[in-house]
Amino acid sequence: MRDTREYIDQLLADRERRREEPVTEDELPDDVDVVEEGLSGTVYHEYRTCGDETCQCMSGGTKPGPYAYRAYRDGDTVRREYLGKAESE
């Protein structure tokens, strides 16, 4: 029983420590350009498909963008906030 308690305590400690860590590139979508990392989150640019079936991006063409997002931790969850259209790179 004591081993189980120690294991649970370690899991909880790891969880709390994780909440303080910045979002890593592994937790971001593929093919993004990280612009800035800071205490308030990680800002990145991403090209995305628009969902319009007539758009070239839906058939493998160039995706619209870049769009700026901020990824941040909310408890155990990585959330992202849309910041608007980024300046073209």
Confidence check: pLDDT of 88 > 70: no
pLDDT at 89 over 70: no
Cis bond before residue 66 (omega within 30° of 0): yes
Report field, pTM of the whole predicted structure over 0.75: no
What is the distance between the alpha carbons of residues 33 and 46, in angstroms, rounded to a whole number?
7
Domain range list for the chain? 22-85
What DSSP designation does 55 have? Answer: S
Q: Cβ neighbours of residue 46 under 8 Å, at least 6 residues apart?
A: 29, 31, 32, 33, 65, 66, 67, 69
Work out the percent of the chain whose per-residue pLDDT is above 90.
27
Mean pLDDT for the chain overall: 86
User: How do residues 15-31 score in pLDDT, each as one tens digit?
Assistant: 777 767 788 888 898 88
pLDDT for the residue numbered 30: 86
